[in-house]
Amino acid sequence: MIYTCTMAPSVDYTTFLASFQTGELNRANAVNYYPGGKGINVSRVLQQFNIPSTALGFVGGFTGEFITQKLQEEGIQTDFIQTNETTRINVKVAAKSATELNGPAPRISEKQQQELLERVQHFKTQDWLILAGSIPSTISTTFLEEMVKTCEQLGVRLAVDTSGQPLQQLMTMTPYFVKPNEHELGELFNTKITTVDEVIYYGKQLVEKGIQHVIVSLGAKGAIYLSHDCIAVADPLQGEVMNTVGAGDSMVAAFIAQMTAEASKVDAFRYAVAAGSATAFSNDLCDRQLVEKLAQDVCVNIYTDRM
């Protein structure tokens, strides 16, 4: 089973306008409401590949009910922990340029953290736990350590896609799969990364620490995959970028979907790049048909001599 965990989910409210004027009344041409959060995005994309998953995390109030209902309508199983706070709403204004207003992360009590840990303790060997998105400051470092330790003891494959101090901490505990972007990779090593060679150099250091799979997303410049026996560099796909929200999450979902189907590392990476691009070229998350089409156009260069 694949479990996704979103500590701070949201209802993503996106408004589309021809132009946006601060201090003025702006009327939207269209609006969208989606269940949001990186782990939730991963579950939604996995569903496009007919891969079942269970969405974990913390929700509350009418917005939490909306998220649960929408995911269940899409056929995604949920096992959220209820909080006393209303799940946040993130407002995204899509005009000539994009503006985002994200609500504050929820306060997660020790009791609620323990409830999540108890769920993880019932996972089975070879299950996946995808920890994605921001981690509230009320989540203790001890809790993260216990969760990672539990995954290691049970043989659960932990995938991490977060940032900041939690990412720094989690990298010391050797997850199975990580997907930083180039800026997050630089922050891990207290440096600024500007070239492909630098991405490869620092990405290899993560692999040398014992991380099995590393994908570094480079936005419009493509992506790089690293493992103990392979370095693969994907050129960017060309298309009209309509939406960057969820592109990285789509990469994570497609990579894991292909790995569960026993695809090769390179093919899994190829689909990851296609899925990230498909989301970027869409108003919402990618659909499988477009991913399959774009996967045929992904150019991957393999550098085995650099390992």
Residue 225's nearest CA partner among 130, 131, 301, 305 is 301
pLDDT at 305: 52
Confidence at 156, pLDDT banded by 50, 70, 90: very high
How much of the chain, in percent, has pLDDT values that exceed 70? 99
24-38 residue pLDDT tens: 999 999 998 999 999
Residue 186's nearest CA partner among 208, 173, 175, 171 is 171
| Contact yes or no for 232/214 (Cβ under 8 A) | no
Confidence at 297, pLDDT banded by 50, 70, 90: very high
What is the rounded distance in angstroms from the CA atom of residue 140 to the CA atom of residue 227?
30
What is the rounded distance in angstroms from the CA atom of residue 38 to the CA atom of residue 41?
5
pLDDT at 304: 63
Around Cβ 84, how many Cβ atoms within 10 Å? 10
pLDDT at 69: 97
pLDDT top residue among 221 and 25 = 25
Around Cβ 265, how many Cβ atoms within 10 Å? 19
How far, CA to CA in Å, does 236 sit from each of 222, 223, 287?
A: 4, 7, 19
| CA-derived radius of gyration, the chain | 19
Task: Kindly report the pTM of this predicted structure.
Answer: 0.93
* Res. 79: pLDDT tops 70: yes
Reduce the DSSP state of residue 234 to 3 states and report it. Answer: strand
- The full DSSP string for 157-169 is EEEEE--HHHHHH
Tokens standing for residue 202? 């620092």
pLDDT at 240: 83
What is the rounded distance in angstroms from the CA atom of residue 81 to the CA atom of residue 119?
10
Average pLDDT score, the chain: 93
99-104, long-range: CB < 8 A, 24+ apart: 99/20, 102/10, 103/10
Mean pLDDT of all residues in 226-230:
94
Which residue segments constitute the domains of the chain, with CATH numbers given? Answer: 1-175 (3.40.1190.20), 180-307 (3.40.1190.20)
Mean pLDDT of all residues in 200-213:
95
Confidence at 283, pLDDT banded by 50, 70, 90: confident
Around Cβ 120, how many Cβ atoms within 10 Å? 20
What is the rounded distance in angstroms from the CA atom of residue 32 to the CA atom of residue 15?
7
Mean pLDDT of all residues in 210-216:
96
Residues that are catalytic: 249
114-123 residue pLDDT tens: 999 999 999 9
pLDDT at 96: 79
pLDDT at 306: 53
* Res. 56: pLDDT tops 90: yes
